[in-house]
A and B are shown apart, each in its own frame.
Chain A
């Protein structure tokens, strides 16, 4: 497969762009693999990439029921940050942030990584104290984070409304300057292309319908395209994690909820950073196409329908207009929902299970995108070596029995 470069672009440009090769193959499933990854989203493809690259496991398959990147990878707001309170979370999210920085180069694919900074707003004294505490905790963990007063916030993001007459006035914010956004499709396609190049089979339009076991160990999967034998199954299916684990009667502390996002009509560049507010629960950035990308909270009920409720949109729009009065006449163009798998402690599960050879990477809830390369990196390590490394170790399924939770709710300045 050719390397993408200025020269290849020039050559193709001069010959009418007819010579570009397919970016990955469309193989039929083989009868057996060394490992099968269920789920061809960002995390699943990153897992495949790092399994092949770091652990030499190239006889593996990624099985995707729809199209790669068509689930939550294509539905999130692509916010990247690592300013979490607890050591375990800061470590894994910062590991991901470190990988994001060179990922475009490494994959030879433009992931449009933009380190434009992430602001987390404080609307009252209590929240400001929490955020300052988090800044200090971040610094101890090597996460570059700082606290801005409201005038510094205004200077950093001029369109923000810092009036004291607001219902929820902005009194300060934390800023992580190396946070930002990137291009979700670029990441998915980049991982898929490199994994495919190393021999990984990416099988789309193929759904796993059952997992086969013998004597408490995985022996294969049944799919809509036939049975595949394998000693290792890695489940990376986000909203459907409980459904897949249910095939092995494994109960999980996960509930699946719809999470919505929406985009506005395209505009000239107007907002230079990512702004998130926990108290009024909305977050916003501007894509390179010029659309405002806006997200909010989950619907409280369990659902798999990939659509959210109207009152959530109403709530998030009223929040946005108060923070950015300049947006009051902007039209919203598209709205969609994804299904997020939330854990009671708002931290992921990267874990072995009681069934030998069955591994779970899920429970990322509303904030999985930012972790994509870090998650794939340490999950690949777990699948290859059958034991968690230092980064994955705190996120075992066992923590719900031992009580050693990584309780990031609120502490993470959610609004993920």
Chain B
């Protein structure tokens, strides 16, 4: 459960928001010339990153505006929120030592955790 900083309204509870999928996917302007594979990529294929991930949210029970968020999907740490149309800001965060592993403040599932150098 998140406390989300809406860029327009400030801090609110997650239950006021709806998630609206991956951010920064531009709708193609040359749709008539696109192949089926290009359409499939636009419509269906998603990064689904474990780690730093930009996504859209809608403050549905508030200002009803869409905005973007950068979140670490391995830990659920919210790194930034910013207005739609803005570029993704640079962020630093704690990532897992291995691609499918757990970060130091991850889910607490230590059975699958590979430690980083120096981590105890």
Contact = CB atoms under 8 A, between A and B. Distances in A.
Contact of A309 (B14, B18, B44, B112): B14
Interface in B21-80: 21-22, 36-37, 39-41, 43-50, 53, 55, 71, 73-76
A302 B100 contact: no
B114 A207 contact: yes
Given A247-B99, A252-B46, A255-B48, A304 B37 contact: no
A300 interface: yes
A324 B88 CA distance: 47
Interface in A375-403: 400-403
A306 B111 contact: no
A305 B74 contact: yes
Contacts of B93: none
Contacts of B40: 253, 400-401
Nearest to A71: B112
A401 B1 contact: no
Contact of B1 (A70, A246, A310, A344): A310
B40 to A, nearest CB: 4
Given A66-B109, A207-B101, A243-B100, A253 B44 contact: yes
A89 interface: no
A300 B101 contact: no
* Interface residues of chain A: helix, strand, loop or mixed (majority): loop
A246 B53 CA distance: 14
Interface in A177-208: 207-208
B18 A300 contact: yes
Interface string A233-264: 00001001011101100011111100000000
A21 interface: no
Contacts of B2: 309
A403 B73 CA distance: 30
A224 B98 contact: yes
B84 to A, nearest CB: 17
Most buried by B among A65, A224, A304, A309: A304
B48 A256 contact: yes
Contacts of A209: 98-99
A303 B76 CA distance: 7
Contacts of B44: 253, 344, 400
Interface residues of A, number: 39
A400 B45 CA distance: 9
B107 A402 contact: no
B109 A301 contact: no
B71 to A, nearest CB: 8
Contacts of B14: 309, 311
B1 to A, nearest CB: 4
A20 interface: no
Given A66-B112, A305-B107, A311 B1 contact: yes
Contacts of A208: 100
A67 interface: yes
B106 interface: yes
Given A224-B114, A253-B46, A255-B46, A301 B99 contact: no
A307 interface: yes
A311 B73 contact: no
A208 B55 CA distance: 27
B55 A302 contact: yes
A305 B94 CA distance: 13
A260 to B, nearest CB: 12
B95 to A, nearest CB: 11
B48 A242 contact: yes
A207 B46 contact: no
Contacts of A307: 76, 107
A303 B75 CA distance: 8
A100 to B, nearest CB: 27
Nearest 3 pairs of A and B residues by beta carbon: A253-B44, A66-B112, A242-B48
Given A224-B98, A243-B100, A401-B37, 12 more contacts: A66-B111, A207-B100, A243-B99, A252-B48, A253-B40, A254-B48, A300-B19, A301-B71, A302-B19, A307-B76, A311-B15, A402-B36
Interface of B: 1-2, 14-15, 18-19, 21-22, 36-37, 39-41, 43-50, 53, 55, 71, 73-76, 98-101, 106-107, 109, 111-112, 114
17 contacts: A65-B101, A207-B114, A224-B98, A240-B50, A242-B49, A246-B99, A253-B40, A300-B19, A301-B55, A302-B22, A302-B55, A304-B73, A306-B107, A307-B76, A310-B1, A344-B44, A401-B37
